[in-house]
Every structure is written in C-alpha cells, then in structure tokens.
Amino acid sequence: KRLKAGTSPSETGQLNPLQVSINFLGMAIGCICMVVIVVATLVSYLTGYQNPITPCADDDDWCLLLSSTSRGLIMAVSIIPHGLPFVVMVMLRVGSREMLLINGMVTRATAV
C-alpha cells in the first residue's frame, strides 16, 4: 500500500522501519538504564555508602535506604535524557547507511 504525500504515520496507524528501530533501541537503553540504577542503589545501600555532608546515624536503615534511593533517582535523571538523543543519532546514521547501500536519494531530512 502506498501512502499519499503528507500522510503521517499516526493517520495510517503504521510505523516506518526507522520508527520501529528507534522504539526498540530506546526501550533497550531504557531497560539497561533501569538495571544500572537498581544495581547502583543496591550497591549504595548494601555497602552503607553515605553522603559525607549529611551522614545518617549508624543504626538508621530508613535514612540509608532513602539516601540510596535518591542517589539512584539522581542517576536516572542524568542518564535517560543523555541516552535519548544518542538513540536518534544512531538510528539516523543506520538509516542513512542503508540508503547509501541501495543508492537511495534523500530529498527531505525526515525521509531518513
């Protein structure tokens, strides 16, 4: 089925292969980030690492758990926004490479 010019994927309900690849890679990077965050939080909690500026009492596990969780959330806030532009950049590069291999001609940047 051929799409009319100016028809967006949301109107047809179909995603092009690049969008499918970006969605897959984005989900994979998101899952990897979540695993890294959970592991960092667990390591921080199990080793008893504390912020030297505001340390918790020695017997206060709740304070240690909260500080470890906040450390994991800080990592999430910093990792995820840096990963998303990387996903798009890599997938555009892959799409451009595939078009080059089949001698494709790109007339619009959104066609990649």
Name every residue whose Cβ is closer than 8 Å to that of residue 7 and which is 6 or more positions away in sequence: none
In this structure, what token pair is assigned to residue 95?
Answer: 């799409």
The band of 8, judged by pLDDT with boundaries at 50, 70 and 90, is low
CB 7 within 8 A of CB 16: no
**Residue from 73, 65, 80, 93 nearest 29 by CA:** 80
pTM recorded for the entire structure: 0.58
The band of 20, judged by pLDDT with boundaries at 50, 70 and 90, is confident
Interatomic CA distance for residues 47 and 39, integer angstroms: 12
The band of 1, judged by pLDDT with boundaries at 50, 70 and 90, is very low
